[in-house]
Chain A
Amino acid sequence: MMRFLLLFSRQGKLRLQKWFTPLPERERKKIVRDMTTLVLARKPRTCNFLHWKDLKIVYKRYASLYFCCALEEQENELLALEILHRYVELLDKYFGNVCELDIIFNFEKAYFILDEFLMGGEVQETSKQSIANSIEASDMLQETMEEYMSKPAF
């Protein structure tokens, strides 16, 4: 299973954090610091896998954002790269040519999409179209309720 998924910028600012195991706040902050240091220190043409404690860290850089996840020992690292790529594709489809600002200003939507794709550290749905449909339907549900209540969402 995936233990956590982090998105951070080249300056080390956290843009999204998803934890699949219960950890105290202090522990989480420390892990974020460790990950950003480790990943940002990597040279450009090195492989995307690292070893940290007893976990395998898989990271990939997309434009100005680093997508970094931690796997347990028996997981397939190459598949994790595919998972990260799939998530980026989902974001891209939703926001239309996604960039870091989209994720900053609409972080809650990024989380909703992630929650449709991964659950409990495992892949939930393998079809891109299906996920896109669910997100759309949920957004519709939210909007119609808001229109009814005549107030904006956030």
Chain B
Amino acid sequence: MSPSVRLQELIRVIRSARTQCEERGVIQRECAAIREQFRQNDNGGRSHNLAKLLYVHMLGYPAHFGQMECVRLIASPRYSEKRIGYLGAMMLLDEKQDASLLITNSIKNDLSHSSQYVQSLALCTLACMGSAEMCRDLAPEIERLLKASNSYIKKKATLCAVHIIRKVPELGEMFTPSAHSLLSEKNHGVLHGAVVLITELCERNTQTLDNFRKAVPELVQIMKGLVMSGYSPEHNVAGISDPFLQVRILRLLRILGRNNDRASDAMNDLLAQVATNTDSTKTAGSAVLYETVLTVMDIRSESGLRVLAVNILGRFLLNNDRNIRYISMTSLLKIVQTDHNAVQRHRGTIVDCLKDQDASVQRRALELSLALVSSVNIRSLMKELLLFLSTCPPELRAHAASGIFIAAEKYAPSQRWHIDTILHVLTTAGSDVRDETVPNLIQLITSASELHCYTVHKLYRALVTDISQQPLVQVACWCIGEYGDLLLKGDCEETEPVQVTEDDVLDALETVLQSHMSSPATRAFALTATMKLSTRITENVDRIRSIVSIYGSCIDVELQQRAVEYNALFRKYDHMRAAVLERMPVIDKGQTNGEMSANNIKDLEQTDVKIPEVPLPSNQLCLEVCDLLDLLGGSEEPLQPSQAPPSSVPTPSSTGTGQDLLDLLGGVCPAPVPVVTGVTVYEKNGLTVTLQCDQRTETSVTVSLLASNSTDSDITSFSLQAAVPKSVQLQMKAPSGDVVPAHGAGQVTQTVILMNPNKVNLKMRVRVSYSSQGSFCQDTAQIDSFPTTAWS
């Protein structure tokens, strides 16, 4: 192929290549020729070659060898070469390449070129890929061009200045004086650039912002001129005069009027005028109205204006155009917290949007619906949300499910309704719910004691229909194990009675145990439930015995361990079986596992054998604690690593044999009743950590650190680290979890034991680290004095 083939010819040849391989071949040959040409410094064809290279680059092939050629072409005196050279620089060079520094000098020269088109090339390139270094060097030039040039160059220089400020914010002061004077220009291009420049300056520096507030009347004047002016063919878009400029001015007014009464007053009339006069049949008008609404909601506007704005959004909601519905919901989401009642009026339309085919619109409608839930509309709204959950796209299911749970928890009109709702969610979107749902639901069920019969019937029916949704199966197994006797009794006031025999129940549980769809945790639940039924049924105890013994040789260690223990319970400790498998007491939400379990089994203490303290299992295993047997089985589990530097998690000395049942059963140290009073150690961003002293002896102190969260969103990745003076030994137990739920719904607890044999003055430094509302925080707090216990 001839090396000086024209660009268009090359493009044609590449496009006619029939396979990827052929195309690659053509391009490689051409690139080789181009490289050769670059080396030869051939004067005539340089711009062809770079253009060809840029085309090849756009197809995705490497073109870095063209960088130096760009530099050379930029320095050429010919306009056509400069033009393609600058284009190449914008495409191939960025601030990370060394070659970019080499063009600084050329740009500097071109900025003072006699032809304005050459100047414009330089300005454009600087604004596109200028690094901080280049910006610093050339800023004085740009400032000069801002002041003394024609409007063509002025508008470009202004945007170049915007880029410079973005790269090097300190240079903002250089452009501030000229920025204000630019507002008196008539040329719309320059005016637009000036508004962008002032916006950028104000966003970065509050002093400049205060300064520019005096420009508000001027801006209002310009805006009025645009709105009231007659038809101007040059700037007209669908009946709106220069919507680009209008939107920009409105945005600047928003920034200037925020939190400032005087400025907001000055623009009230204008905003009302724009809101009423703008024709919104086409997108241009809607864009201006949208910006106006955003501005009205953000500044200190009077209430009449706010109502007008919300009404505009309401009108947008009914618009046929999906885009407009989408953005109206986005804006409503922003104001739903402050103007809740106004948005409630449009609830019907929003709920209709849940049924839209467009996933973006559905997402917005979902967020807005969740924000609109209140105690008044909870029943009707929940119906819609549950309907939505069954038909929504998979990417929205998790969000919808967790939103429904939060709403149900806040506003549930009755416990039965709450349980029904959660069950509904579990059956429709069971695989998308969070892990904490299972223990939360179980806690809820235990607390609704009059509904046990109803619940277990419903769950049994759900289990028999479908065993693929793990959270549902887990809850169902637990309930059947716990309330199996109510299920077998058959009569229940709330639902239709169904005759369930013991065999049916055991069949169901066995299906879960054997199904390949069940996760290991689910199978563990099912095994435990089967075991519990041995005290609640009369005839098929042998069947249970055989099931349990089969699993004694199961590959899954957890199942095997449980099965072996239950076997032992059948054989050696049969006399204890009834007591051990008794009905669980009501679980208190938010208490730590260790304390709760200790309180509950105090009465079952049989012997005085001294046993090491049972370490606190992690939040995910907290369910295990609810089931007494599981505690005995679960305490052997490897514990969550605790956070303190000199930490040593005491592992129980025993392993899973029958011997331990007795030890651990008798030996769980009754944790003392937690002291109500605590010292606040850390309080920031809605997160409060308090210290409670649990036990104090001559040489050791046991304290609990409790963390609670009063913000609207959960705090995640929460962890505590502690350090103490040298002679003191620190032992941190595993925390109860690492998510602190929002609105103080629960607490995270961590027990710390301080061994102080030398009886020095106890001090502790605690480091708190967590993620809240998207940002990661880390803080330290010092505890200088430990509170005494209430009853010492």
Instruction: Report which A residues bind B (CB closer than 8 A).
Output: 14-17, 19-20, 22-24, 29, 43, 45-51, 74, 76-79, 81-83, 85-86, 104-105, 107-108, 111-112, 115, 119-120, 122-130, 134, 137-138, 141-142, 145-146, 149, 151-154
Which single member of A17, A124, A127, A134 contacts B235 (CB below 8 Å)? A127
Interface residue B284 (Cβ < 8 Å from any Cβ of A): yes
Pick the residue among B47, B129, B244 that contacts A123 (CB under 8 A): B244
The residues of B that contact A16 with a CB separation of less than 8 Å are 58
Instruction: Output the residue of A127, A152, A154 with the most chain B CB within 10 A.
Output: A154
Chain B residues with CB below 8 A from A86, complex form: 237
Complex CA gap A128/B233 in Å reads 10
Do B189 and A130 touch (CB < 8 A)? Answer: yes
Q: Given contacts A46-B358, A74-B251, A82-B243, are A141 and B117 in contact (CB under 8 A)?
A: yes
Cross-chain contact A129 with B234 (CB below 8 angstroms): yes
Among residues of B, the one whose C-beta sits closest to the C-beta of A137 is B117
Binding site for A on B (CB under 8 A): 6-8, 11, 15, 44, 47-48, 51, 54-55, 58-60, 78-80, 83-84, 87, 90, 94-96, 115, 117, 120, 123-124, 127-129, 131, 152, 155-156, 159-160, 162-163, 166, 188-189, 192-193, 196, 234-235, 237, 242-245, 247, 251, 283-284, 286-287, 290-291, 322-327, 357-361, 363
List of B residues within 8 angstroms of A17 by Cβ: 58
The 3 closest A-B pairs by CB, nearest first: A78-B287, A47-B322, A120-B127
Q: How many residue pairs, one in A and one in B, have C-beta atoms under 8 Å apart? A: 164
Q: Is the CB of B323 within 8 A of A112?
A: no
Residues from chain B with a CB closer than 8 A to the CB of A125 are 155, 188-189, 192
Known A47-B323, A108-B87, A152-B6; contact A78-B360, beta-carbon cutoff 8 A = no
* 19 pairs, CB–CB < 8 Å, chain A vs chain B: A14-B58, A29-B60, A43-B358, A45-B357, A47-B325, A78-B283, A78-B287, A79-B291, A81-B283, A82-B244, A85-B283, A104-B11, A105-B8, A107-B54, A115-B90, A120-B128, A123-B192, A149-B78, A154-B7
Is there contact, CB below 8 Å, between A51 and B360? Answer: yes
Are the CB atoms of A83 and B244 closer together than 8 Å?
Answer: yes
Q: Is there contact, CB below 8 Å, between B357 and A43? A: yes
Least CB separation from B195: chain A residue: A122
Q: Does B96 contact A24, Cβ atoms closer than 8 Å? A: yes
> Are B244 and A126 in contact, CB atoms less than 8 angstroms apart?
yes
In the complex, the answer to whether A154 meets B156 with C-beta atoms within 8 Å is no
Please judge, given known A-B contacts A43-B357, A108-B54, A124-B193, whether A119 and B156 are in contact too, CB under 8 Å: yes
Determine the main DSSP class of B at the interface with A. Answer: helix
Please report the C-alpha to C-alpha distance between residue A112 and residue B129 in the assembled complex, in whole angstroms.
16
Supplied contacts A119-B159, A138-B83, A154-B47, 10 more A-B pairs, CB within 8 Å: A50-B360, A81-B287, A82-B237, A104-B15, A108-B87, A115-B124, A124-B192, A125-B155, A153-B47, A154-B51
Contacts of A76 in B (CB 8 A): 247, 251, 287, 290-291
* CB-defined contacts of B8 to chain A, threshold 8 Å: 105, 154
Given contacts A47-B360, A82-B283, A112-B83, contact A126 B189 (CB under 8 A): yes
B75, chain A: closest CB distance, angstroms? 16
Contacts of B95 in A (CB 8 A): 22
Give chain B nearest CB distance to A138 CB in angstroms. 5
Which residues of chain B are within 8 angstroms of A22 by Cβ–Cβ distance?
94-96, 129, 131
Residues from chain B with Cβ under 8 Å of A79 in the complex: 243-244, 247, 287, 291
Residues on the B chain within 8 Å of A120, using CB = 127-128, 159-160, 162-163, 166
Give A16 to B87 CA distance when docked, in angstroms: 12
Rounded to whole angstroms, the CA-CA distance of A17 and B188 in the bound complex is 27
Given contacts A46-B360, A120-B127, A124-B159, contact A145 B80 (CB under 8 A): yes
Distance of A50 Cα from B330 Cα, bound (Å): 12
Known: A48-B323, A134-B152. A107 touches B58 (CB 8 A): yes
Of A47, A108, A127, A149, the contact of B234 (CB 8 Å cutoff): A127
Other-chain residue from A14, A85, A126, A134 in contact with B245 (beta carbon distance below 8 A):
A126
Does the CB pair B48–A154 fall under 8 Å?
Answer: yes
Task: Count chain B CB atoms within 10 A of each CB in A49, A81, A120, A134 and give the residue with the most.
Answer: A120
Chain B residues closer than 8 Å to A77, beta-carbon distance: 323, 327
User: Is B189 a contact of A108 with CB atoms below 8 Å?
Assistant: no
**Is B54 touching A78 in the complex (CB atoms < 8 A)?**
no
* Contact between A126 and B160, CB atoms less than 8 A apart: no
Chain A residues contacting B360 (CB-CB under 8 Å) are: 46-47, 49-51
Given contacts A141-B115, A154-B51, contact A81 B323 (CB under 8 A): yes
Contact A49 B326 (CB under 8 A): yes
Q: Which residues of A contact B358 (CB under 8 A)?
A: 43, 45-47
| Inter-chain contact B87/A112, CB cutoff 8 Å | yes
Q: With A79-B244, A107-B58, A122-B159 known to touch, is A145 a contact of B189 (CB < 8 Å)?
A: no
Q: How far is B290's CA from A153's CA once the two chains are assembled, in angstroms?
A: 46
In the complex, chain A residues whose CB is within 8 Å of the CB of B196: 122
Q: Are the CB atoms of B359 and A46 closer together than 8 Å? A: yes
Determine whether the beta carbon of A142 is less than 8 Å from that of B323: no
Asked if A138 contacts B189 (CB within 8 A), the reply is no
Query: Residue on B with the closest CB to A47?
Result: B322
Closest chain A residue to B287 by CB distance?
A78
Q: Which residue of A lies closest to B93 (CB)?
A: A22
Q: Residue A82 contacts which of B48, B160, B193, B284 (CB distance < 8 angstroms)?
A: B284
> CB-CB < 8 A to B84: which residues of A?
108, 154
B229 to chain A, nearest CB (A): 14
Give the Cβ gap from B544 to chain A, nearest Cβ, in Å: 52
Residues in A with CB closer than 8 Å to B325 are 47
Q: Which single residue of chain A is at the shortest CB-CB distance from B12?
A: A105
**Min C-beta distance of A133 to chain B, whole Å:** 10
* Cα-based distance from A38 to B247 in the complex (angstroms): 28
B322 touches A153 (CB 8 A): no
B128 adjacent to A119 (CB under 8 Å): yes
B11 touches A105 (CB 8 A): yes
Q: Smallest distance from the beta carbon of B163 to chain A beta carbons, Å?
A: 4
Which residues does chain A contribute within 8 Å of B90, judged by CB atoms? 115
Q: Shortest Cβ distance from B193 into chain A, in angstroms?
A: 7
Which single residue of chain A is at the shortest CB-CB distance from B127? A120
Selected from B78, B87, B323, the residue in CB contact (under 8 A) with A145 is B78
Q: Are A142's CB and B159's CB within 8 A?
A: no
Bound CA span A152–B626, Å: 85
B residues near A15, Cβ cutoff 8 Å: 58
Q: Select which of B47, B55, B322 is within 8 A of A107 by beta carbon.
A: B55
Give Cα A122 to B251, complex, Å.
Answer: 14
- Nearest residue in A to B44 (C-beta to C-beta)? A151
